[in-house]
Amino acid sequence: MHTYTQNVRENLALALDTLRTHKFRSFLTVLGVLIGTTTVIAVTSIIAGLDKQLVDVAEQFGTRTLWVYKLQLGNPHRLTTEERLRRPLSYEDAMAIKEQCPSIETVSVELFPDMQDFGLPPVTAKYRGQDMNDALFVGVTANHLQLLNATQDAGRFFTEAEDLHRRNVAVIGHGVSERFFAHEDPIGKTIVVDGQSVEVVGTLTKFKSFLGDDNNDKAILVPYNSFKKMYPEAKDNFIDALVRQGKMEQAKGEVSELLRRRRHVKPADPDNFGIASADSVITQFRQVISSVALVMTVISSIGLLVGGIGVMNIMLVSVTERTREIGVRKAIGARRRDITWQFLLEAMTLTASGGLMGILVGWLLSLAIRTFVPSLPSTVPLWSVVAGFTVATSIGLFFGLWPALKAARLDPIAALRYE
């Protein structure tokens, strides 16, 4: 065992000495491995960061919440004619879900003008000569905060009595509060939203954002019936349903069956509404990301393949250059496996060096992205570092095998005579 370890150490020292002797040639040889490993590290760091950010955002909106809407959420695509003309869900649908679905604990309802292709239409909010042109104006029921998992920052949320009596009161997001009330208390102040005057009774803490999207912080929430009074034509309801603990799948089935019945969907026809949860949105996102990851894996594999071919080529040249050295080693007692391991370790050291450089460059890229593009999160997972180094080393093992075997099979007498 001691002799084997010593042989490995000696072969590794020989490999490192060869790398030092031919620095530039070695660098060019492993450039493909370096690029491939860098790509893997950089892409996985971005994907891991995005995944963590999405999970955080989805959990903030409730792991026990079902989102029910006339369209399917989390599945971006060009709307069909049927989807554009689809009848909105009604307030009565929400109440039916609350009363007739045993797995649902409670529901809240959001009301807004018709959803556009790119989300809620922004409105202009004004306060003492200041304008905010990208505010989001939404009517919600008084229990909305319970389902939103949001935290009250200052003041209070509006009550059911205020909703019933259509009071013009509002709870504003962190972004609205910062824009208008950076240096004063917002509670009790009146702001004008899309021509409607509302009194601020509360503010919300900052939401976690996904890819820098801070739309939730720009929300101005008013009682459901107050919004209906302001916009009599508004019919686009979005239902949030709080599911009883451990009843998510049953709840989805109950809501789906109830809405199909209420919306007169034939047994053979698909749903004309969408039901989503935090888990389903995360799953859909991961399906999209996995396609991107597959493409990047193919691209990085090309780099690794090119690097591997380069290593095999340079190792074959090295065998030819060092034929006499191989003959001398065999003449003084080196066995075939000693020669094989010498050249294999040299090839693996080459690609492992490229892998380490690739990991370093990938980590620096990830750090630069996180520093200069905060909305695009990136974090290097440990498994990607281990995988990158392992694959890089394996490339050396695979592509160095033929040159190593060729060196080991050389006839010592012919090798000694080689000039």
Average pLDDT, the chain: 81
pTM equals 0.66
109's enclosing H/E stretch is strand 104-112
Six token digits for residue 122: 């922004």
Q: Are 323 and 405 in contact (CB under 8 A)?
A: no
Of the candidates 66, 12, 76, the residue with the CA atom closest to the CA atom of residue 239:
66
Q: Where does 30-101 have alpha helices with state H?
A: 31-60, 81-84, 91-100
Q: CA 284 to CA 290: how far, in whole Å?
A: 10
Q: Are 189 and 158 in contact (CB under 8 A)?
A: no
Q: Are 65 and 243 in contact (CB under 8 A)?
A: yes
Amino acid at 334: A
- Cα–Cα distances in angstroms (integers) from residue 390 to residues 219, 300, 348, in the given order: 48, 14, 10
- Looking at residues 39-47, what average pLDDT do you find? 84
Instruction: Answer whether residue 2 shows pLDDT above 70.
Output: no
Residue 13 CA, chain-centre distance (Å), reads 42
- Looking at residues 410-417, what average pLDDT do you find? 67
pLDDT at position 62, please?
66
Instruction: Answer whether residue 391 shows pLDDT above 60.
Output: yes
Q: Where does 205-277 have alpha helices with state H?
A: 224-230, 248-262
- The CA angle 194-195-199, to the nearest 5 degrees, is 90
Q: CA 127 to CA 129: how far, in whole Å?
A: 6
Q: Are 61 and 207 in contact (CB under 8 A)?
A: no
The more confidently predicted of residues 250 and 301 is 250
Instruction: Answer whether residue 3 shows pLDDT above 60.
Output: no
The phi and psi torsions of 80 (rounded to 5 degrees) equal -80, 170
- Cα–Cα distances in angstroms (integers) from residue 380 to residues 47, 96, 404, in the given order: 9, 47, 35
Q: CA 206 to CA 222: how far, in whole Å?
A: 18
Residue range 351-368, pLDDT digits in tens: 888 888 889 998 898 888
Residue range 64-87, pLDDT digits in tens: 888 898 887 766 667 777 777 888
The tokens 């319970």 sit on which residue?
A: 146
- Looking at residues 46-58, what average pLDDT do you find? 76
Residue range 124-157, pLDDT digits in tens: 889 888 888 888 899 999 888 887 766 778 888 9
Question: Which range in 13-17, 30-34, 329-333 is most confidently predicted, on average pLDDT?
Answer: 30-34
